[in-house]
Structure 1
């Protein structure tokens, strides 16, 4: 996914409108061969690391759904010679911070540490990643927390809608089920399952690293070998591509509430598709989340059918969607669905106006520099860029690529991407005028 480098580092200088100074991204290869992108900033004695292990919860083995999620929750519950309490006290005593999260396609580690005790903090992080204890009392405590999440999601109409759509769309692929697992699968997980999940995910062949702050390229290389060098070279095979199995229509899940939640989708577009930027601008115009979008204007402002509606590009690694979400009172849901289908159809047939295009570009380019508001955010952006296979100069060229999109590009991609007849709506509630048997 990431090109091999022949030297220690190369650099790209990136200037964004709205930023006070240039961002210099250095491509670093550690002595042990671990690659990272770095933005040096010596103004504060602090460094942020984002370490991502690609594959994430989609690497759950068959019959052990939720293993990677539960394992991730245990990484800060004791390591090497320290139990959970001792580990937490050691991290706090150094004014360091570690966050471990898992998603469909990646397990992410965000580390924040002071320069003065950087090596000692790195040793703690190394122990958490390479020598987690998986003590039985910690397993049962975190298992209980996960089961509470699952129980809560079973009563949450938003979560029910998402889970139903994913199950219908992706079937037996890991995308088709919640990464937390089910009550039954989580209850059945053993310590051996967690050790196997750890070995499957935490390996050097799927790691990307973003770093920002008070550290040089040479120091970062040594630090990465210190933290990650003892991980296995290879983990489990990456997931297969997911087959999208859903056709157009409506599914109603009965839920006793005066309001319904609706999610909707059809197949989407990959991040590396040549038409991605026109699709990106198209989505902003259609339902990008502000009041200038077609969906907000037509569904909320003009008709008062909802407080909010938005569309999205779902850019998961092994299967993509385009869709959206809204909620409305039960008596208005059917009309809102009809209006959304009409807007989908109108954009596909007629494209966008010059005014819509310029407003979308202005928003997308103007908002982008605001993301770079600290070393922690920058480290995460650098890791995400690598995970998505972006070039090192992406930050500098991104707004130019948005600006280059024409109305004809959007019209062409809308005709390719928007398929109103294939939109499938999942509605959770007791909507009027929609048959719950569908």
Structure 2
């Protein structure tokens, strides 16, 4: 048994709200009679307290069929969440772009004699929820069920059958293909989506991450039912799966469930780890699009899961552009110059190097000036790093927001699935928060310099070619007259 310490103030708040909803009328009247001063002082006292914590015990084992299992008991509610994660994302498509996503989407379209409607009706009758999704690294299938064996046993049996024995009916395949093709047509009217697709293609070149997970209008029509069956047989195997379980289960029940689910899956080896990409170098692409706004994306290959620099990159990015209002990018681009409603930066670690990205949308006439400003801000941040005050604020905000990652069973099961899939320590969540609190300005600065080069950015813009305007002068907060003149 491994102990995992997670900050869960959000979970405590939810529990308090639930209990408040159960008060009698007399209790509510008493609460309403409290003075505003008392309520405000209570909130002030809470803000000075350390976040409420609890110990979460995560246990790990492998089933007889070779599936890794991560389990955490959570008896507070009579239900459980199960997530099956397969190394079966679009990085395994090879040249059949969209094959992984289409296979995943077809799982609950038919199994044995059951069609999609019957499968959905049975899950609903049992009070259970089935869902699935496909991404670049992985495919996931989830079940939420009440823990009463009279309901959970048939729900698990149906779940296992759907995942392990899909029939891939021809009529459903045709329908989902048509839905995807309609979606591709719709995306042609979305300059942000077009820019994103072009960015990944430019950033990853010939790598398996380069193509869109959903495929494209050329690849989807050619995918056959036989290809779906082959992909399922090769990748939806017990040895290529991870199980995450969270909820109202004993250890014995969790082991029985994981054995039943794992044994129902086909036998086969684990998929090979995705190869490392080759950095493409600096590049700039413009997509002509008739609109009043221009979408601007800047990116670079940056970090993979498990990199020891990730805590420093995460915290530094909260200061740069990942933390919403108050970040450097938001302050300089939106607050001081009114160039956009929002600008954001992010690191997306994956099985191999994932991208660092900045995303902003601005008036077409100011797109070149905005792009130059963003590049200058990034260049300055990499060269000089954050200030002590910025770092302290980012640590405090991260400590306060991190409970959201454990605010529900579904959130926790998602964290466990990621820990299992990327082979991270069971204590990763608590280790991550501890690592954040230890970081110095020098640590963050050094990590950014190691992973980012402002002269090697891949830049994609989507918008019209129009005469450009100069960059507006910055306006400090409180200068309302100057802001009015600027707009």
TM-score range, shorter chain: over 0.9
Q: Could you tell me which of 168, 172, 186 is aligned with 2:206?
A: 172
Gaps of 5+ in 2: 10-51, 469-487
SS at match of 2:390: helix
| Deviation at residue 164 of structure 1 after TM alignment | 0.3
- Residue 251 of structure 1 pairs with residue 285 of structure 2: yes
Equivalent pair of 1:29/1:221 in contact (CA under 8 Å): no
Q: Which residue in 2 is equivalent to 1:125? A: 159
Moved more, 400-409 or 227-236: 227-236
Distance in 1 separating the partners of 2:118 and 2:70: 32
| Deviation at residue 136 of structure 1 after TM alignment | 1.0
Equivalent pair of 1:344/1:418 in contact (CA under 8 Å): no
SS at match of 1:51: strand
Q: Which residue in 1 is equivalent to 2:108? A: 76
SS at match of 1:105: coil
Identify if the C-alpha distance between structure 1 residues 382 and 129 changes in structure 2 by more than 3 Å, giving closer, same or farther. same
SS at match of 1:173: coil
Distance in 2 separating the partners of 1:71 and 1:15: 35
Identify if the C-alpha distance between structure 1 residues 164 and 15 changes in structure 2 by more than 3 Å, giving closer, same or farther. closer
- Residue 291 of structure 1 pairs with residue 325 of structure 2: yes
- Residue 25 of structure 1 pairs with residue 58 of structure 2: yes
| Deviation at residue 43 of structure 1 after TM alignment | 2.5
- Residue 372 of structure 1 pairs with residue 383 of structure 2: no
SS at match of 1:260: strand
Distance in 2 separating the partners of 1:244 and 1:291: 34
Q: Could you tell me which of 203, 206, 211 is aligned with 2:237?
A: 203
Q: Which residue in 2 is equivalent to 1:98? A: 130
Q: Could you tell me which of 294, 297, 310 is aligned with 1:276?
A: 310
Q: How many residues align?
A: 424
Identify if the C-alpha distance between structure 1 residues 324 and 96 changes in structure 2 by more than 3 Å, giving closer, same or farther. same
Distance in 1 separating the partners of 2:291 and 2:309: 41
- Residue 384 of structure 1 pairs with residue 441 of structure 2: no
Q: Deviations over 1:59-99 (max 9, x none)?
A: 1132x211111111111111122111211111111011110
Equivalent pair of 1:48/1:112 in contact (CA under 8 Å): yes
- Residue 138 of structure 1 pairs with residue 172 of structure 2: yes
Distance in 2 separating the partners of 1:358 and 1:431: 42
Q: Deviations over 1:343-381 (max 9, x none)?
A: 111112212110111111111121111221211111111
- Residue 107 of structure 1 pairs with residue 139 of structure 2: yes
The higher radius of gyration belongs to 2
Distance in 1 separating the partners of 2:283 and 2:89: 31
Q: Could you tell me which of 93, 99, 102 is aligned with 1:60?
A: 93
Moved more, 119-128 or 289-298: 289-298
| Deviation at residue 132 of structure 1 after TM alignment | 0.5
Distance in 2 separating the partners of 1:84 and 1:259: 42
Distance in 2 separating the partners of 1:346 and 1:200: 48
SS at match of 1:427: strand
1:233-252 to 2 correspondences below 5 Å: 233-235=267-269, 237-238=271-272, 240-252=274-286
Q: Which residue in 1 is equivalent to 2:121? A: 89
Distance in 2 separating the partners of 1:87 and 1:299: 50
Moved more, 230-239 or 276-285: 230-239
SS at match of 1:409: helix
Q: Deviations over 1:396-437 (max 9, x none)?
A: 222110011101111222222231111221001115468xxx
RMSD (Å) for aligned C-alpha atoms: 1.8
Distance in 2 separating the partners of 1:262 and 1:238: 35
Equivalent pair of 1:344/1:420 in contact (CA under 8 Å): yes
Equivalent pair of 1:259/1:330 in contact (CA under 8 Å): yes
- Residue 41 of structure 1 pairs with residue 74 of structure 2: yes
Q: Which residue in 2 is equivalent to 1:11? A: 2
Equivalent pair of 1:205/1:233 in contact (CA under 8 Å): yes
Equivalent pair of 1:310/1:326 in contact (CA under 8 Å): yes
Distance in 2 separating the partners of 1:105 and 1:151: 25
Identify if the C-alpha distance between structure 1 residues 225 and 81 changes in structure 2 by more than 3 Å, giving closer, same or farther. farther
| Deviation at residue 174 of structure 1 after TM alignment | 2.5
Distance in 2 separating the partners of 1:174 and 1:153: 21
Q: Deviations over 1:221-261 (max 9, x none)?
A: 21122122132332574354242443224211000101111
SS at match of 2:378: helix
1:157-168 to 2 correspondences below 5 Å: 157-168=191-202
Identify if the C-alpha distance between structure 1 residues 129 and 359 changes in structure 2 by more than 3 Å, giving closer, same or farther. same
Equivalent pair of 1:345/1:418 in contact (CA under 8 Å): no
